């Protein structure tokens, strides 16, 4: 392996880690705030995700000699922001475990294609779009209370999307920190570099929470994270081991759930630096970029409490704006996929509208009901 290491693969691996954290760590922090847990548990959540991603990225890349990067479930975290308020965290952990077990079952059974036939890409994308819409709207809602911050960051985002799309959210985050420091809205006095002590949470299983969180978390992670992740790897000329990768990420999610981790899956956007020629001209040596990314994840996982304290120091308005802008492109892609399915437009609209709404029935949130209603309408449409 040492012979295959190269400065470019190391740089690509660390760039992938930077993109992953800078683009969506704010959403993880929002989910943790929605769960009403303390700083120690938030640090443990970040530790669990970092360790899970580090071990799987390093292990899969080493074993299969290709850049197989993993990431946390960003759409899953967005789902949790809306579904976790009022839910005891031990019951949320039970839902995380259910989602992990379902992923392991899919990996063991080889039923990925059959599940995709039941839940077509357009319906899954409509559910994802409904989950993400409130975050993007929050960017513009913030203008009412603090117009300069969101408008300035929106301008930076638009400029970077044109000139350097991959660095857009990293630049937005840096600009936001600089702006908040300049305005006196940010103090780093309470931030200290320290190793994280993982905090165990004994899971509790509530049927309502498992239905409202566990099943949508599984569905959104499989359809909008894992499958696009495998597609990214294939587009770079590699043949990813689907079942072993799903099994590895499902097992990592299962083991990390009692420490707060909501799920590990295949990386899509953040994996891009490790897959192309910018990582290395020789495809056979790019796997070391995945190993470098795994090492970076392990380091940031060990410093999970420090990462949590950094985001705790940021103004809530900035976190909301960065999170919304980070999800803007993902929302656009989800809407494009959802509404390109002209044959099932009614089912797509129902799924999107219900998921985006604040609907709660029988204690179960809108993501579950949006998926169920969309599949019912889809079945009725196909019977005509």
Q: Residue 180 in contact with residue 318, Cβ under 8 Å?
A: yes
pTM higher than 0.85: no
> What are the pLDDT digits (tens) for 53-75?
999 999 999 999 998 999 998 88
Which residue, among 255, 282, 220, 297, has the nearest Cα to 17 in the 3D structure? Answer: 297
Cβ neighbours of residue 80 under 8 Å, at least 6 residues apart?
31, 34, 35, 92, 213, 217, 262
Give Cα separations from 226 to 209, 231, 233, 241 (angstroms): 23, 9, 11, 12
Q: Is the pLDDT of residue 113 over 70?
A: no
Look at residue 224 in the predicted model and tell me its pLDDT: 75
Task: Say which residue, 312 or 255, is predicted with more confidence.
Answer: 255
Tell me the two tokens of residue 91: 């019951």
Q: Is the pLDDT of residue 128 over 80?
A: no
* Measured distance CA(295)–CA(121) in Å, rounded: 33
> What are the pLDDT digits (tens) for 147-203?
888 899 999 999 988 887 767 777 888 888 888 888 877 777 667 778 888 999 999
* Measured distance CA(381)–CA(384) in Å, rounded: 6
Which residue, among 61, 189, 138, 99, has the nearest Cα to 325 in the 3D structure? Answer: 138
Look at residue 170 in the predicted model and tell me its pLDDT: 76
Mean pLDDT for 132-139 is 85
Mean pLDDT of the chain: 85
CA torsion angle 123 378 369 23 (round to 10): 0
Task: Say which residue, 316 or 93, is predicted with more confidence.
Answer: 93
Mean pLDDT for 322-328 is 80
Tell me the two tokens of residue 350: 């129902």
Mean pLDDT for 348-376 is 84
> What are the pLDDT digits (tens) for 204-242?
999 999 998 999 999 888 877 887 788 778 767 788 888
Tell me the two tokens of residue 255: 């083991």
Q: Is the pLDDT of residue 2 over 60?
A: no
Domain chopping of the chain, boundaries: 7-335
Look at residue 69 in the predicted model and tell me its pLDDT: 92
């Amino acid at each position: 392996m040492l012979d295959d290491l190269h400065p470019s693969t190391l740089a690509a691996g660390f760039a992938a880690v930077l993109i992953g954290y800078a683009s969506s760590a704010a959403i993880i922090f929002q989910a943790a705030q929605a769960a009403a847990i303390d700083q120690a548990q938030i640090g443990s959540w970040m530790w669990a995700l970092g360790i899970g991603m580090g071990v799987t990225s390093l292990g899969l890349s080493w074993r299969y000699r290709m850049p197989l990067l993993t990431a946390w479930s960003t759409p899953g975290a967005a789902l949790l922001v809306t579904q976790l308020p009022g839910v005891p965290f031990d019951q949320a952990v039970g839902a995380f475990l259910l989602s992990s077990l379902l992923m392991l079952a899919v990996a063991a059974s080889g039923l990925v294609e059959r599940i995709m036939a039941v839940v077509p890409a357009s319906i899954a994308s409509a559910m994802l779009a409904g989950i993400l819409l409130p975050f993007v709207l929050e960017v513009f809602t913030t203008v009412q209370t603090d117009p300069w911050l969101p408008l300035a960051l929106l301008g930076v985002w638009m400029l970077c999307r044109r000139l350097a799309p991959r660095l857009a959210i990293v630049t937005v985050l840096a600009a936001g920190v600089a702006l908040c420091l300049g305005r006196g809205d940010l103090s780093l006095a309470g931030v200290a570099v320290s190793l994280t002590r993982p905090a165990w949470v004994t899971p509790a299983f509530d049927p309502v929470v498992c239905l409202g969180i566990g099943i949508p978390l599984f569905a959104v992670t499989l359809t909008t994270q894992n499958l696009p992740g495998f597609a990214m790897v294939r587009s770079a000329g590699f043949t990813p081991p689907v079942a072993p990768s799903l099994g590895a990420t499902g097992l990592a999610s299962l083991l990390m759930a009692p420490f707060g981790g909501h799920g590990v899956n295949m990386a899509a956007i953040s994996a891009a630096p490790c897959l192309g020629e910018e990582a290395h001209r020789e495809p056979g040596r790019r796997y070391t970029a995945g190993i470098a990314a795994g090492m970076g994840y392990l380091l940031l996982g060990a410093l999970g409490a420090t990462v949590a304290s950094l985001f705790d120091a940021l103004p809530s308005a900035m976190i909301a704006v960065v999170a919304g802008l980070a999800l803007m492109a993902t929302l656009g892609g989800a809407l494009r996929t959802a509404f390109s399915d002209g044959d099932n437009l009614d089912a797509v609209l129902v799924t999107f509208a219900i998921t985006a709404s604040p609907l709660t029935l029988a204690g179960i949130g809108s993501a579950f009901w949006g998926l169920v209603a969309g599949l019912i309408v889809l079945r009725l449409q196909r019977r005509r």
